[in-house]
Structure 1
Amino acid sequence: MMTSRTVVVTGASRGLGLASAAHLHRAGWTVVAAMRSVDEGMARLRDATGAGAADRRLIGVRLDLTDAESISGAVKDIEQAVGAPYALVHNAGISAAGMVEETPVSLWERMFATNVFGPVALTRALLPSMRAAGAGRIVLVSSQGGVRGMPATAPYSAVKGALERWGESMAGEVASFGIGVSVLVTGTYDTDIITDAGTTDCRVLDGPYARHHQTMDRRGRAAMRYAARSPEAFAVGLEKALQSNKPFDRRAVGPDARMLMVASRLLPPSALHHMVRVMMGIPRFGAIRPVPATATRLPADSDPA
């Protein structure tokens, strides 16, 4: 790897983005850390890397992926600071919990704006300079929800699935210019996005899906205690992806993600559905009967005709 290569990492103020930016800086990359809260995020990055305020290989850029003006401003700042970046890592995103019936459409819109539309806009704006440079890599951070739609996180699964299809399409468009695309399917990592603080909670815990929520919450928290890995482990996998010379590369980062990808290739959709259902403790098909509607009674003196 050339030490002069530059990587833009979105969502670099915390979680996987923070760990990745710090790891790549230590590995010799010039890191452009894109985030909404630059002062707070850069303070964390300097603590993690030991870099001083004058370090030219660690650059903070303000970026709000839901704001078109912020995206335009970030692109100008990136190109002014480093020219055409070699790599662009789309890590920023938000999560939500709740059944489809419980999740408002406004949240779906915000999820797509942050996880899909914003990254597309940022990529479109940076691609001309990357094409002119004749080399580069675009990395899309997906998840297990991009492999298989997961109950109670439909918006998150939907945006990750859309992210993967976008990456597959774009890979065919930019490969001839020397730009590759990688999709990273992440496993479970110990970050805010898997905690109550990092997730928009739309669950109605005393509603018709209460039985689902109780079981899934109990099993999910137990799985996180045993399966969640350090964000630094993800950063190592990201660095390997950045070194790939394949025009398109889709890989798992984490043992649980790897197991799901293998299962999705080997099992038919119906079998995979049942496997997920059993793992999450969701009742079998038709197990919960509908509540009968209260019969409408006509007044005694009314005429049914």
Structure 2
Amino acid sequence: MAEPLGAGSARSAVITGASRGLGFASATHLYRCGWQVVAAMRSVDTGMARLRTATGAGDDDPRLIGVPLDLTDTESIAACAKAIEESIGAPFALVHNAGISSVGMVEETPLSLWEKMFATNIFGPVALTRALLPGMRKAGRGRIVLVSSQAGVRGMPSTAPYSAVKGALERWGEAMAAEVAPFGIGVSVLVTGTYDTEIITDAGTNDCRDLDGTYARHHRTMDKRGRAAMRIAARAPEKFAAGLARALDSGKPFDKRAVGPDARMLLLANRFLPPTVMHQMTRLMMGIPRFGGLARREDTEHA
């Protein structure tokens, strides 16, 4: 274990899911900005090798520490929290970035994936937070960052489990913020826009779509439009990392902000437009048939 940095040294940040995507970009950016980074991930050897290459950090650099973490395993979470406290003490920032995604209609998505989604995106982060909060409370400062999504603002078709966990993540953050604010700990919810990471690709998501089934028409249209939108809107992960760094400087007890222009537009629209209008806008953008458009009606005519 690396020794904790001394008083007056760089602030420390724990980032989950730091081996790729937004977590990797964030860990790299914060390290370059002088932070002490604890990169929590499943594959520590592979992930740390990539991080050291990206940052130029040496194997024994106390400002870049890797710890194993499987958010679906309670023993792994407990061991991760212990390793964090032994290496850096109470972290200043706890960034919940790790998560999994899925695509598929509600009828197509097995309950086992719903359970895994909530275990990874909600139950695991809650458990890790509970383990680290006592130390953060005693330190009397810190910030817990929950990385949400546009799907947490509006439930999006074909991503119901992902939308559900991101919505739950935001409600958790809102509730927890009032609880921990008196102890000097703030909570930030970051609504991410579209970024060029594996989570928006076929390789980075759990694909439950039946492309020849009942919703085949939905999938064909949504896939075509979705890919076109991603080519236009997807930004480099490094831009998210800069937004995260700014969020960590917030002095608000609760701070919800968009990171990305498309996320900002969605939050603005969701603030001023009624839910029925937002629903219709989503339907039109996704090319989903009108209400009742695919309903099967029995022929009531008699010979």
Alignment match, 1:21: 27
Match of 2:263 among 254, 257, 264: 257
Match of 2:155 among 137, 141, 149: 149
Does the Cα contact within 8 Å between 1:99 and 1:203 map onto a contact in 2? yes
Match of 1:233 among 239, 243, 250: 239
Helix, strand or coil for the counterpart of 2:251? coil
Helix, strand or coil for the counterpart of 1:197? helix
State the distance in 1 between where 2:138 and 2:175 align: 20
Task: Give the alignment of 1:34-113 within 5 angstroms.
Answer: 34-113=40-119
Shift in Å, 1:289: 2.3
Aligned residue identity for 2:158 = A
Alignment match, 2:217: 211
Helix, strand or coil for the counterpart of 2:38? strand
Structure 1: state its 5+ residue gaps.
294-305
Helix, strand or coil for the counterpart of 2:57? coil
Aligned residue identity for 1:269 = P
Alignment of 1:267 with 2:245, yes or no, is no
State the distance in 2 between where 1:289 and 1:128 align: 54
Helix, strand or coil for the counterpart of 1:252? strand
Shift in Å, 1:292: 5.1
Aligned residue identity for 2:59 = A
Alignment match, 2:290: 284
- CA offsets per residue over residues 229-257 of structure 1, 9 Å max, x none? 00000000000000000000000000000
Helix, strand or coil for the counterpart of 2:209? coil
Helix, strand or coil for the counterpart of 1:100? coil
- CA offsets per residue over residues 101-145 of structure 1, 9 Å max, x none? 100000000000000000000000000000000000000000000
Helix, strand or coil for the counterpart of 1:265? helix
Aligned residue identity for 1:276 = T
Give the root-mean-square deviation of aligned CA atoms: 1.0
Does the Cα contact within 8 Å between 1:3 and 1:28 map onto a contact in 2? no
State the distance in 2 between where 1:112 and 1:3 align: 36
Helix, strand or coil for the counterpart of 2:65? strand
State the distance in 2 between where 1:29 and 1:289 align: 56
Does the Cα contact within 8 Å between 1:141 and 1:183 map onto a contact in 2? yes
State the distance in 2 between where 1:57 and 1:84 align: 15
State the distance in 1 between where 2:265 and 2:282 align: 12
Shift in Å, 1:291: 6.8
**Sequence identity (%):** 75
Match of 1:137 among 132, 136, 143: 143
State the distance in 1 between where 2:204 and 2:296 align: 34
Alignment of 1:242 with 2:248, yes or no, is yes
Shift in Å, 1:47: 1.1
TM-score by length of 1: 0.94
Deviant stretches of 4+, over 3 Å: none
State the distance in 2 between where 1:264 and 1:57 align: 40
- CA offsets per residue over residues 43-87 of structure 1, 9 Å max, x none? 110111111111110000000000000000001100000000000
Assess, with a 3 A threshold, how the Cα gap between structure 1 residues 101 and 269 changes in structure 2: closer, same or farther.
same
- CA offsets per residue over residues 183-229 of structure 1, 9 Å max, x none? 00000000000000000000011111111000000000001111100
Shift in Å, 1:3: 4.9
State the distance in 1 between where 2:16 and 2:9 align: 20
Match of 1:190 among 184, 190, 196: 196
TM-score by length of 2: 0.95
State the distance in 1 between where 2:13 and 2:239 align: 18
Aligned residue identity for 2:144 = I
Alignment match, 1:297: none
State the distance in 1 between where 2:251 and 2:47 align: 31
Structure 2: state its 5+ residue gaps.
1-7
Shift in Å, 1:147: 0.2
Helix, strand or coil for the counterpart of 2:157? coil
State the distance in 2 between where 1:21 and 1:253 align: 17
